[in-house]
């Protein structure tokens, strides 16, 4: 998450930016909330691993939006936050951010099994195993954030956790060890997710070419492609600091506008894709 504000905006500009971010966050969470209600109001969805993984992605995005928007607003309303509270917010935000690509990989694997191993799908992708997989996602997604906290405990005195800090990751975790950990985990996690997406897409593509009935296979192809697009948008947040540093010297007066647009495009807008991928495209959801 990148919620950094480097230059103080005037009151009108700060108010406008916060209204845009908060309004978009509320709209996205309202749409996603309707999907959550639809899921839990129909037992059919809770028996299908595909929809269980999807609704987990939606709920995860809702939590991420709440945390991300809260951190963004805090940079204006109260830039200095108790470091312990900031740790909780940043760790939860970083974990939910990391879980999104992992969940997309899981959804692609489920589609791969459904299309390429249809006779085994019911045995492999049971609701119980899906919930175990989701728990595993949270364990894996939490590891990098827990590593950050452990490093922080090793290099900072206990008094640090009662001090005030600027509440964003690069301020809370500024050491070289944190930066190395961040780079390593991002490379490992994203490489793994991309390998899974590319492999499942290619296998579904080959199956579609051999299949007499190409409808479901082609739809699975498009779904995995959309997962790839969503993952690309999520990965844009990794280059946001680089874009900020690159563009700032050319447009020093508009630096906060650049930061705002980068945050909007890389952190908020990708969360609109989740309801579009299934909520709009999926006939079962539309009928409900």
Q: What is the mean pLDDT of the chain?
A: 83
pLDDT of 56 reads 95
Asked whether residue 131 carries a pLDDT value surpassing 60, the answer given is: yes
Domain segments of the chain: what residues? Answer: 11-287
Over the stretch 239-276, which tens digit does the pLDDT of each residue have? 666 666 777 677 666 677 778 888 888 788 878 776 77
Average of per-residue pLDDT across 105-128: 90
Asked whether residue 148 carries a pLDDT value surpassing 50, the answer given is: yes
Burial (CB count within 10 angstroms: exposed 0-12, middle 13-18, buried 19+), residue 272: middle
Asked whether residue 4 carries a pLDDT value surpassing 90, the answer given is: no
Average of per-residue pLDDT across 61-90: 90
Name the residue among 194, 192, 212 with its Cα closest to residue 202.
Answer: 194
Model pTM greater than 0.75?
yes
Distance CA 199, CA 180 (A): 28
> What Å distances lie between residue 206 and 49, 112, 119, 287, CA to CA?
23, 11, 18, 31
Q: What band does 95 get if pLDDT is binned at 50, 70 and 90?
A: very high
User: How many residues in the chain?
Assistant: 288
Over the stretch 174-212, which tens digit does the pLDDT of each residue have? 888 888 888 888 889 888 988 998 898 888 888 877 765
Average of per-residue pLDDT across 105-125: 90
Distance CA 259, CA 286 (A): 37
Distance CA 232, CA 192 (A): 14
Task: Please state which architecture CATH assigns to domain 11-287.
Answer: Up-down Bundle (1.20)
Contact between 197 and 232 under an 8 Å Cβ cutoff? The reply is no
Out of 19-23, 33-37, 262-266, 281-285, pick the least confident. 281-285
């Amino acid at each position: 998450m990148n919620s950094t504000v480097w230059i103080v905006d005037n009151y009108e500009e700060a108010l406008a930016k916060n209204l845009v971010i908060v309004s978009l966050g509320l709209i996205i969470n309202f749409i996603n909330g309707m999907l959550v209600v639809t899921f839990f109001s129909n037992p059919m969805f809770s028996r299908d691993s595909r929809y269980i993984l999807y609704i987990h992605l939606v709920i995860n995005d809702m939590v991420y939006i709440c945390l991300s928007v809260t951190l963004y607003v805090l940079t204006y309303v109260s830039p200095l936050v108790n470091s312990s509270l900031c740790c909780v917010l940043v760790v939860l935000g970083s974990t939910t951010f990391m879980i999104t690509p992992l969940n997309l990989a899981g959804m692609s694997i489920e589609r791969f099994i459904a299309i390429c191993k249809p006779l085994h799908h019911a045995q492999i992708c049971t609701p119980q195993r899906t919930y175990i997989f989701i728990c595993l996602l949270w364990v894996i997604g939490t590891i990098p954030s827990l590593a950050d906290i452990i490093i922080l405990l090793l290099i900072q005195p206990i008094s640090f956790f009662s001090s005030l800090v600027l509440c964003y990751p690069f301020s809370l975790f500024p050491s070289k060890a944190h930066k190395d950990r961040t780079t390593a985990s991002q490379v490992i996690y994203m490489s793994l997710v991309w390998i899974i997406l590319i492999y499942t897409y290619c296998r579904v593509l080959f199956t579609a070419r051999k299949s007499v009935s190409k409808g479901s296979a082609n739809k699975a192809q498009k779904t995995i492609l959309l997962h790839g697009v969503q993952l690309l948008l999520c990965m844009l947040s990794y280059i946001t600091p680089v874009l900020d540093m690159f563009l700032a010297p050319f447009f020093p007066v508009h630096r906060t506008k650049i930061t705002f647009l980068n945050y909007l495009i890389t952190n908020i807008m990708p969360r609109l894709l989740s309801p579009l991928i299934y909520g709009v495209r999926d006939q079962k959801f539309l009928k409900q």
